[in-house]
Amino acid sequence: MDHRSVVRKEFERAASTFGDRTQGRFGHMEVVAFSRVRSGTSVMDVGAGTGNFLALFGEQAQALIAVDLTPAMLYEGRKRLDGLWAVVADGALLPFAAASIDLVTCAQMLHHVEEPLEIIKEMKRVAALRVLIVDQVATEDEAEIDAMNELEKLRDPSHALSRPPSAFRKLLSDAGLELIDERIVSSRDTLSKWMWPGEFPVDRIEAVHDFVEHRGNETGMEFEPSGNDYDFTRRRMMLLAR
Ligand SMILES: C[S@@+](CC[C@H](N)C(=O)[O-])C[C@H]1O[C@@H](n2cnc3c(N)ncnc32)[C@H](O)[C@@H]1O
């Protein structure tokens, strides 16, 4: 199965619970202020899923456009966000004209992508004003990057790669984009929420718990036991470019 088929299969499975499980996860990041949008802007999220990220722009934007590979995710998004335009497409081949959307974003999506440069170049082509990328980041330590990705793949077979901040800066520059601003925002999360039993199969939950117990400290994710659960640090990077 190619990686895009693995992504579609995983998100078809998770679509009905994903929106509730991840609701509010960008709430502390001040995304709208960071993106410098004015009212009346058109915003497209590539890999928009159920629209949690796009919903942040609901008060400012005159059009919210969700692009995703997985129809079931968009179907849930349409139930959650009034007036959402939903387009089933691959981020590497956006069915939009050059410079046709003011702000083109992707959030928590590039770690599902093996070759992100082609997607970032497409985002640049379609953006009239700016491109905003948000994704989880690893540390800059190679052993920690490898261990974090081993854990993430145990959790979710559609995971491709969590990258360090330096890799995102290079990707933007390779795509011909100029970085306007960047920020890394950290928050503490819990393993039980990350591996929510209502969404994940039992065998995956057990494999992830086992990894965290024995090798969690290799990942740079700062796992700490908390009763029967674990806390850990999630670092997300925001990069705004033109
Ligand atoms: C973790 S979800 C993020 C959803 C949303 N952006 C959010 O933050 O709530 C990742 C989404 O990216 C989509 N996706 C992955 N690879 C893609 C690609 N090449 N083109 C379009 N969508 C893709 C998946 O189908 C999934 O819905």
Per-residue pLDDT, 146: 98
Q: In whole numbers, what is the pLDDT of the chain averaged over residues?
A: 96
Per-residue pLDDT, 24: 86
Alpha helices in the chain (DSSP H): 3-22, 31-35, 71-80, 116-126, 142-155, 165-174, 191-194, 202-215
Any idea how long the chain is?
Answer: 242
Q: How many CB atoms lie within 10 A of CB 28?
A: 11
Q: What is the position in ligand 1's atom list of the atom closest to the CA of 26?
A: 8
Torsion angle in degrees (nearest 10) through CA of 98, 103, 108, 113: 10
Rounded-to-integer distance, Cα 215 and Cα 219, Å: 7
| All structural domains of the chain with their residue ranges | 3-144+156-189+231-241
Rounded-to-integer distance, Cα 150 and Cα 153, Å: 5
Per-residue pLDDT, 21: 87
Per-residue pLDDT, 199: 87
User: Which residue from 52, 112, 117 has its CB within 8 A of the most atoms of ligand 1, so it is best to mutate?
Assistant: 112
DSSP helix/strand/coil, 55: helix
Low-confidence ranges of the chain (pLDDT < 50): none
Say if ligand 1 is within 6 A of residue 160 CB.
no
Per-residue pLDDT, 186: 96
Say if ligand 1 is within 6 A of residue 70 CB.
yes
Of all protein residues, whose CA lies closest to atom 23 belonging to ligand 1?
A: 47
pTM, full prediction: 0.96
Cβ atoms of 11 and 18 closer than 8 Å: yes
Say if ligand 1 is within 6 A of residue 113 CB.
yes
Of all protein residues, whose CA lies closest to atom 11 belonging to ligand 1?
A: 47
User: What CATH class has 3-144+156-189+231-241?
Assistant: alpha beta
Per-residue pLDDT, 1: 77
Say if ligand 1 is within 6 A of residue 52 CB.
yes
Alpha helices in 37-133 (DSSP H): 71-80, 116-126
User: Which residue from 16, 106, 109 has its CB within 8 A of the most atoms of ligand 1, so it is best to mutate?
Assistant: 109
Per-residue pLDDT, 23: 87
Say if ligand 1 is within 6 A of residue 51 CB.
no
